[in-house]
Chain A
């Protein structure tokens, strides 16, 4: 169903410099309605800065924010006062008006817009039921649990059916169970509104679960943008693969000569990509490093265990070899201890090969 809104937002060449420090450098991104627009990047990558610029809370040093206008025109939003925009914003911390009841908190944006009273009641109750906070409408936000407080904040962002809803790591301060629960609900909630939803997160796993499209940020720059799964499968650079990888990406320098690739200080394999002679970087993900030989072509390397983390169904084995720290994510419990020598297997078919400077081939 298409909402009344259904407008796309675009940031063009946005730069934000605060006190001589570049928070955002020439960021271009497009955010579309109908599905999540995930902003993924580590801490200090500029996610929050970009959200704040999108909301108008911070003015960009240079650049433009543009939204779809009527009849396929574009409206320049740069410099428009925050209160004149149609936005919702949910912070990582649970931000509600402590002196108002939950009902008044959710109703607040509607009241400002002078929505008729009966209408306010209906909409607040509907959204509160959707978010399972219906019975708490008379309470004060601080009397609720963390998860419920964040639901109130989400309800306030949802209720006005704004053109643009910005979520800044909204689940980061919640405990594991609540996070999973809300994460599953969020796409359903927002898909009905027709709002353009931008969701910032530091967790690659969360980005994959939410789907939609993704923009990878690193040190205030866009690294790659596109449909989430596509970006995950075909990173356009070593940096993109690194940003979108948890546990960290395994990588090593390699040299190709005469159709044979030599991983620096390690095994060699036959090149199948038709690489010209030269130096390269190869990368592969943690689940592609095995303790059992996965296929006939798999290479074996011998490594020294640095630390093993066991989550129950899986083990993360961090190993040192060839001057690199690699991580293997393997099923089952593998209680290696520090200093153990292990043989690990990797399949050249899994390798992502980049140029020496980290760019895609």
Chain B
């Protein structure tokens, strides 16, 4: 086989345009990663494409300093709480919207989604005042509850779409077979919309994980999220670039892991289950 032929084939197989596209997409991520592996001196010293002396010191700082890793723990706690609450509330709500007709159901359903159209900033003041006055300020549950305002409607919409794809006759067959409603719902129905639950959980997780404004306003010390920790790294010695970049890398990781699990269903989720 001649060499030019092989090269031509290789070029054809690589597909130039998507390759370039992905390269450009990866540039900021790559830059974040290299910064995390550099020392502050190198970052500020000049332009370098890759770290001259790769170091894990920045990551070590984060994983050993409680004020840093505490942020991750706090974020994880309220995100998990929020995801669980959102799903527990949204599953029966979505089932009702999908299976029953009642007065004003369509309006209520749309109104749910319109909640998401308001920017979180609108709700910061009432949440802050309310939670302060009932003693929930600076707790994980406060942030989790505040985030359900945005996540429950979205979860209801996604789950309703998935549920409406399941014929009503399955519900009836289960009744005829003698299942109680709870047995039917958990043993037959939920496995059928498993991918929908996964996608809804992913969207709840993602929103709650990246949301900064509400999470920062409703916390001070005990429940301070990682995103808030990252925004106050200006110390007396200046900005700690390397540690900040390492924190950024660590923040991306959980999202990437969750995406991996729902990657096959995500498109349907974006279409709110209506594919």
Spell out A's residues near B (CB within 8 Å).
55, 57, 82-85, 87-89, 91, 93, 95-100, 108-109, 112-113, 156, 160
Contacts and interface: CB of A to CB of B under 8 A. Distances in A.
Contact of A83 (B167, B178, B191, B192): B178
Contacts of B174: 97
A117 B172 CA distance: 25
A160 B172 CA distance: 16
Given A91-B169, A93-B167, A95-B170, A112 B177 contact: yes
B179 A83 contact: yes
A160 B178 CA distance: 11
Nearest to A90: B173
B169 A112 contact: no
B178 A97 contact: no
A133 B186 CA distance: 28
Nearest to A168: B169
B175 A57 contact: yes
Interface of B: 167, 169-170, 172-180, 183, 188, 191-192
Contacts of A156: 173, 177
A109 B167 contact: no
A82 B176 contact: yes
26 contacts: A57-B172, A57-B175, A82-B175, A83-B175, A83-B176, A83-B177, A83-B178, A83-B179, A83-B180, A85-B176, A88-B176, A89-B176, A93-B169, A95-B169, A96-B173, A97-B170, A97-B174, A97-B188, A99-B191, A100-B188, A108-B177, A109-B177, A109-B178, A112-B177, A112-B179, A156-B173
A290 B180 CA distance: 59
A22 to B, nearest CB: 19
Contacts of A88: 176
A85 B175 CA distance: 9
B188 to A, nearest CB: 6
Which of A88, A97, A156 neighbours the largest number of chain B CB atoms within 10 Å of its CB? A97
Nearest to B191: A99
| Residue of B169, B178, B183 most packed against chain A (CB within 10 A) | B178
